[in-house]
Amino acid sequence: MASNGIRDRVAIVGMGCTAFGERWDQGVNDLLVDAAKDALASAGVELRDVDAFWLGTLYSGQSGLTLSRPLKIDYKPVSRLENYCATGSEAFRNACYAVASGAYDVAMAIGVEKLKDSGISGLPGFTAPGDGTRAGLTAPATFSLLAPAYAKRYGVDDATLKEVMTRIAWKNHKNGALNPRAQFRKEVPKDTIACSPLVAGPLGIFDCSGVSDGSAAAIIVRAEDARRYTDTPLYVKALSFVAGPAAGPMDPDYDYTTFPEVVASATDAYAQAGIKDPRQELAMAEVHDCFTPTELVLMEDLGFASRGTAWKEVLAGTFDLDGELAVNPDGGLKSFGHPIGASGLRMLFEAWLQLRGEAGQRQVASIARGRKLALTHNLGGAPGECVSFVSVVGSERSA
Amino acid sequence: MNGIVAYGSYLPYFRLDRKAIGDSLGASADKGTRSVASYDEDTTSMAVEAARAALRSAPAARPATLYFATTAPAYLDKTNATAIHAALDLDAGTAAFDMLGSVRSGAGALRAAADAGRPTLVALSDIRTGLPGGADEREGGDGAVAFLLAGDSRDAPTLATLVASASVTTEFLDRWRLPGEPASRQWEERFGEHAYVPLGTAAVAEALKQAGLAATAVTRWVVTGPHGRASRRVAASIGAVKGTIVDDLASSVGNTGAAHAGLLLADALDRAKPDETIAVVSLADGCDVTIWRTTAALAPRSRPATVAVQAAAGVPVSYATALTWRGFLQREPPRRPDPERPAAPPSFRAESWKFAFTGSRCLACGARHVPPQRVCVKCHAMDRMAPERLADVPATIATFTVDRLAYSLSPPVVAAVIDFEGGGRFQCELTDVDPAAVKIGDRVEMTFRRLFTAGGVHNYFWKARPLRSR
Say if residue A165 is in the same domain as residue A255: yes
- Asked whether residue A165 is domain-assigned, the answer is yes
* Mean local confidence (pLDDT), A314-334: 98
**For chain A, what is the domain count?**
2
- pLDDT tens, A240-292? 999 999 999 999 999 999 999 999 999 999 999 999 999 999 999 999 999 99
Residue of B nearest to A251 (CA): B425
Residue A125, pLDDT above cutoff 90:
no
Say if residue A198 is in the same domain as residue A324: yes
Domain with CATH 3.40.47.10 in chain B: 3-325
Among A197, A231, A265, where does a domain finish?
A231
pLDDT at B302: 67
Residues of A taking part in catalysis: 85, 338
- pLDDT tens, A91-112? 999 999 999 999 999 999 999 9
Chain A, 141 to 170: residues with Cβ < 8 Å from chain B are: 141-142, 144-146, 148-149, 152
3-state SS string for chain A: CCCCCCCCCEEEEEEEECCCECCCCCCHHHHHHHHHHHHHHHHCCCHHHCCEEEEECCCCCCCCHHHHHHHCCCCCCEEEECECECHHHHHHHHHHHHHHCCCCCEEEEEEEEECCCCCCCCCCCCCCCCCCCCCCCCHHHHHHCHHHHHHHHHCCCHHHHHHHHHHHHHHHHHHHCCCCCCCCCCCCCHHHHHCCCEEECCEEHHHECCCCEEEEEEEEEEHHHHHHCCCCCEEEEEEEEEECCCCCCCCCCCCCCCCHHHHHHHHHHHHHHCCCCHHHHEEEEECCCCEHHHHHHHHHHCCCCCCCCHHHHHHHCCCCCCCCCEECCCCHHHHHCCCHHHHHHHHHHHHHHHHCCCCHHHCCHHHHCCCCEEEEEEEEEECCEEEEEEEEEECCCCC
In whole numbers, what is the pLDDT of chain B averaged over residues?
A: 95
pLDDT at B289: 98
Residue of B nearest to A122 (CA): B336
pLDDT band at A27 (very low <50, low <70, confident <90, very high): very high
In whole numbers, what is the pLDDT of chain A averaged over residues?
A: 96
Instruction: Looking at the complex, report in whole angstroms how far the Cα of residue B279 sits from the nearest Cα belonging to chain A.
Output: 43
- Asked whether residue A148 is domain-assigned, the answer is yes
Q: What is the pTM of this model?
A: 0.94
Say if residue A278 is in the same domain as residue A374: yes
User: Which among B335, B399, B426 has the least Cβ separation from residue A148?
Assistant: B399
Say if residue A219 is in the same domain as residue A174: no
Say if residue A268 is in the same domain as residue A364: yes
Q: In terms of residue numbers, what domain contains A23?
A: 10-119+213-231
pLDDT at B200: 97
Say if residue A190 is in the same domain as residue A218: no
- pLDDT tens, A66-97? 999 999 999 999 999 999 999 999 999 999 99
* Mean local confidence (pLDDT), B249-267: 98
- Asked whether residue A399 is domain-assigned, the answer is no
Say if residue A89 is in the same domain as residue A166: no
More confident residue, B409 or B280: B280
Say if residue A239 is in the same domain as residue A227: no
In CATH terms, B3-325 corresponds, of 3.20.20.80, 3.40.47.10, 2.60.40.10, 3.40.250.10, to: 3.40.47.10
Say if residue A171 is in the same domain as residue A186: yes
- Chain A / chain B CB contacts < 8 angstroms: 129
Residue B470, pLDDT above cutoff 70:
no
Residue A1, pLDDT above cutoff 80:
no
* Mean local confidence (pLDDT), B130-137: 94
* Mean local confidence (pLDDT), A12-16: 98
- B347·A135 Cβ contact <8 A: no
Instruction: Looking at the complex, report in whole angstroms how far the Cα of residue B254 sits from the nearest Cα belonging to chain A.
Output: 33
- Asked whether residue A88 is domain-assigned, the answer is yes
pLDDT at A126: 63
Say if residue A51 is in the same domain as residue A177: no
Residue of A nearest to B351 (CA): A131
Say if residue A193 is in the same domain as residue A294: yes
- Asked whether residue A2 is domain-assigned, the answer is no
- pLDDT tens, B343-377? 999 999 999 999 999 999 999 999 999 999 999 99
- B427·A127 Cβ contact <8 A: no
- Asked whether residue A282 is domain-assigned, the answer is yes
- A130·B335 Cβ contact <8 A: no
- Asked whether residue A369 is domain-assigned, the answer is yes
- B336·A120 Cβ contact <8 A: yes
CATH of the domain at A143: 3.40.47.10
pLDDT at A364: 98
